[in-house]
Amino acid sequence: MLSENMQKALNSQINKEIYSSYLYTAMSMYFEVEDLSGAASWMKTQALEELTHADKFMSYVNERGGRVILEALKKPVFSWETPLDAFSGALVHERFISASINDIVSLAREEKDFMSDNFLQWFVAEQVEEEASVSEVIRMFKLAGGAGGGLLMIDRELGSRVFIPPAAE
């Protein structure tokens, strides 16, 4: 059974994960308008990944006898000055998500909720990958420096990303 505090924290994280999908969908639409179909595809994949994260959290809350309570989502940002700005915003957001997950891990340890701590470790590791992935795209955009040919190459590479759902446990 989840404590009231843990259930509240996990429900808050579910909201953040669904919002992440919403934000990355908005970024995908921005890239479509900018004729960067590869970056749009990358963000669509990211949006799907975030929904799988939300689903994992919801399943866990249910498995532990808790109740999933979905809250309203805030309106995401939908326009950026440059593709680099969009990906920089994504990195800021991923760091926010990492901090949120770390806070829940701290709560789990404080409450001696070892099952939740164990469950959350997958997300701790996932956030390392999330931040590194976005940081790599930012590095590529900075190296290209706005050059059209470089941007085209980056967009082509970003379009090669495919969604692979996490393995069932």
| Per-residue pLDDT tens digits for 63-119 | 999 999 999 999 999 999 999 999 999 999 999 999 999 999 999 999 999 999 999
* Predicted local distance difference test score (pLDDT) of residue 163: 82
Looking at residue 100, which CATH number applies to its domain? 1.20.1260.10
With respect to residue 87, please indicate whether it lies within any of the assigned structural domains: yes
Helix or strand (DSSP H, E) at 58: helix 37-63
Confidence of residue 150 (pLDDT cuts 50, 70, 90): confident
With respect to residue 11, please indicate whether it lies within any of the assigned structural domains: yes
Task: Provide the domain count of the chain.
Answer: 1
DSSP assignment, residue 65? T
With respect to residue 164, please indicate whether it lies within any of the assigned structural domains: no
Are residues 97 and 16 in contact, defined by beta-carbon separation less than 8 angstroms?
yes
Say what percent of the chain tops pLDDT 70. 98
Containing structural domain, residue 122: 4-69+78-158
Ranking 31-35, 83-87, 119-123, 147-151 by mean pLDDT, the lowest is: 147-151
Arithmetic mean of pLDDT, 10-34: 98
With respect to residue 133, please indicate whether it lies within any of the assigned structural domains: yes
With respect to residue 100, please indicate whether it lies within any of the assigned structural domains: yes
